[in-house]
Amino acid sequence: RQLPTLLCLHRPLQQQLRWQRQIRTLLHLHQAILCPTKRWWQPKRDSLSYNDNTNHRRSHFFNSFFVQTLFNEKNGNANEKGKYKYSNVKRWHKHVPGKNIFEQERIFFPISINNSHWALVVAFMDEKRIQYYDSLKWNGTKYLKGILQYLQDDYKRQFRSDMDTSECRLVLCTEDTPQQQAYN
């Protein structure tokens, strides 16, 4: 891995080289010890806490890149940008404790809208309700339908049958959603 060159005009070259050696050593320690330990420990921790109590239901929090990836928002092609694409996220279920998203109580999908505003979609799995939260009360129908479609596609991938969505409710911002007066 190439390290960035540290240029400090007011520091002697000898000191700069010593700093680079120290940084290399720290990076090596991080890569050799901490990363493998975290890769081993974190899934182990999740599986242990998941299996300890069968009555305990977890929530899962996707990061904001999930929705951007699901809707192909980073695609440079104008025809593809903003369109739902399950194949972009079909392996993300592997990050869910127990590898089964349908065993979760709630699933949180944070959304960065145009890199300037945040909204949230929450799938309440037991209640069969998907709700959109936005302090500016923008229309989130696209996100609600997309998350429902994602759940249907992932259900089909996992169980090889169609998900019954007859009782699913898609809920836009309600009156009790806190409202923001100014734009972010």
Q: What is the pLDDT of residues 102-139, one digit of tens each?
A: 999 999 999 988 878 889 999 999 999 999 999 888 88
Query: What is the predicted pLDDT for the residue at 1?
Result: 46
Q: Record the tokens describing residue 85, joined without a space.
A: 């694409």
Give the closest residue to 107 by CA, choosing from 70, 135, 52.
Answer: 70
With a cut of 90, say whether residue 23 has pLDDT above it.
no
Q: What is the pLDDT of residues 40-94, one digit of tens each?
A: 555 555 555 555 555 667 889 998 899 999 998 877 788 888 899 999 999 988 8
Query: What is the predicted pLDDT for the residue at 183?
Result: 55
The CB density around residue 173, as the number of other CB atoms within 10 Å, is 19
Q: What is the pLDDT of residues 132-157, one digit of tens each?
A: 999 888 889 999 999 999 999 999 99
Distance CA 133, CA 178 (A): 9
With a cut of 60, say whether residue 33 has pLDDT above it.
no
The CB density around residue 66, as the number of other CB atoms within 10 Å, is 20
Q: Record the tokens describing residue 49, joined without a space.
A: 């806490």
Q: Record the tokens describing residue 67, joined without a space.
A: 């929705």
Q: Record the tokens describing residue 44, joined without a space.
A: 């182990």
Across-strand partners of 133?
120
Q: Taking the alpha carbons of 148, 154, 159, 160 in that order, is the dihedral positive or negative?
A: positive
∠ CA(123), CA(139), CA(73), 5° rounding?
Answer: 75
User: Which residue type is seen at 176?
Assistant: D
Q: pLDDT: is 22 or 168 the higher one?
A: 168
